[in-house]
Amino acid sequence: MEGQPTAEVIEQIRDIPIYRESLAKGHFPILDKPEIARGFPDNWMTPRLAAALESGEAEFVLSTGTHHARMQLIRPPYFLLHSYYRLWSEHPDIADTWASGCRRVSLTTVLATEHVARINAVKRGVPPEPVPPPADRRLDDRTCYLNLRLDPARWERDDVVRMLGEIEAARESHPQGLYHLDCSGYHLAHLVRKVGEWGLWDDFAPPASIIHAYEYTPVNVRRFLHQHFACPIIDLFGSTELGYLFSSDRRGNYRPHLDKMSVELHPIAPDSTIHQLIVSSVRNPHMPLIRYRTGDLVRTVDDSPDPERISQFCGRQTELLDTRHGPVAQGDLDRSISEVTPQVFVHQLRPTGATEARLAYTTFNGRPLGPVDTVALERGLTELTGRLCRLDHRTHIPIGKSGKYAWLAQGEA
């Protein structure tokens, strides 16, 4: 039966209440987020888990909730960090930077920074400071978080100078002057633009390796980063509840990291070449997820449901645009834009009524697209969406409350 757990996996989940009915029937249906939350934590509780919670080997956490409702989870302390470190240490393009003891500086959402500050405040038994100092933003001896503002487009010169100084401190701590940069692609692109705007390149030592994760990184943003950094730039895919599952190589080809995991791909609609990701994982021993629908979407090189042939992680199932040609994902819009011009930076599509849409966009150089690219892009987006699409150049598109950008907006603005 497709996707059903092996006998070895069944032995590991036999005592978990949420799986009793499936075990009795001999069939495991796809597991959705509401089922995980229903009756939590009793639906996961076993004597072994209760003992792990009591000893501190397991802890309650919340998923990030940036693209979906926040979900309670149970996992080992530093589960996601250990998953990241293992991938970094084994990745053929950047493992040398792990082995050499590079410090990791993380430039991502302010929510991630605040989470680390809260962890450290709890350890010390004090409330977190409104503006956490570097010591409170250090997750462990290798990782420090930099960002203290929600919207990176609003960073001021003092913010950038501070972050460059903290990067330099991490670099200076290494015998060869190396460091590893962990980031959201958007945040790093904003930093590069502001460093250029304020003439601060002499203060920005290039990293030895870069991983961008946390959210979808558009093709144009990847191009922009490759123009400014000569080191390997790796795309990383994972989630709070599962850890990291796939990474790209420096050429953009994806490789799996499926330790104690298996993956299925299911079309999101009949005849669709967009597939949803279904994961079975016992990597987290306290909350193994069997046939779990992550909500993430992928495309493969040959449109087949073969996880070994994934070519693109193309967005979230909750953020699909319905069209008469079938559903359109974030990656589809991104591809249409990048095939016309490399200049579009942040973009957001807003359907207006039943037959029209407007694409708000910013550019890397701050100037609107020329008439040729404007006409070509409007034509391509109209064909893609089945709506008459017009472009709307902006100097700023606000970031979401989560610290991530939404590619699809609803209603008038």
Higher pLDDT, 149 or 123: 149
- For residue 413, pLDDT over 60 is answered with no
Q: How far apart are CA 64 and CA 233, in angstroms?
A: 24
Higher pLDDT, 324 or 349: 349
Band of pLDDT at residue 336, cut at 50, 70 and 90: very high
- Provide mean pLDDT across the span 73-78: 94
Band of pLDDT at residue 325, cut at 50, 70 and 90: confident
pLDDT tens digits along 284-302: 999 999 999 999 999 999 9
Q: How far apart are CA 181 and CA 65, in angstroms?
A: 24
Q: How far apart are CA 317 and CA 273, in angstroms?
A: 13
Amino acid at 23: L
Q: How far apart are CA 296 and CA 178, in angstroms?
A: 34
- For residue 410, pLDDT over 90 is answered with no
Q: According to the 3-state scheme, what is the secondary structure of 381-403?
A: HHHHHCCEEEEEECCCCCCCCCC
- Provide mean pLDDT across the span 218-235: 98
Q: How far apart are CA 117 and CA 128, in angstroms?
A: 6
Band of pLDDT at residue 69, cut at 50, 70 and 90: low
Burial degree of 86 (CB within 10 A; 0-12, 13-18, 19+) = middle
- For residue 244, pLDDT over 60 is answered with yes
The rounded mean pLDDT for the chain is: 94
- For residue 351, pLDDT over 80 is answered with yes
Q: What is the pLDDT at residue 68?
A: 45
Q: How far apart are CA 279 and CA 292, in angstroms?
A: 5
pLDDT tens digits along 16-45: 999 999 999 999 999 999 999 999 999 999
* Tokens 């926040």 found at: 70
- For residue 364, pLDDT over 70 is answered with yes
- For residue 146, pLDDT over 60 is answered with yes
Alpha helix ranges (H) inside 33-109:
33-37, 47-55, 79-90, 95-99
Q: What is the C-alpha radius of gyration for the chain, rounded to an integer number of angstroms? A: 22
Q: How far apart are CA 374 and CA 267, in angstroms?
A: 33
DSSP 8-state symbol, 163: H
Tell me the Ramachandran region of residue 39: left when phi exceeds 0, alpha when psi lies from -120 to 50, beta otherwise.
Answer: left
pLDDT tens digits along 158-215: 999 999 999 999 999 999 999 999 999 999 999 999 999 999 999 999 999 999 999 9
Q: What is the pLDDT at residue 128?
A: 87
Token pair recorded at residue 400: 């979401």
Q: What is the pLDDT at residue 337?
A: 98
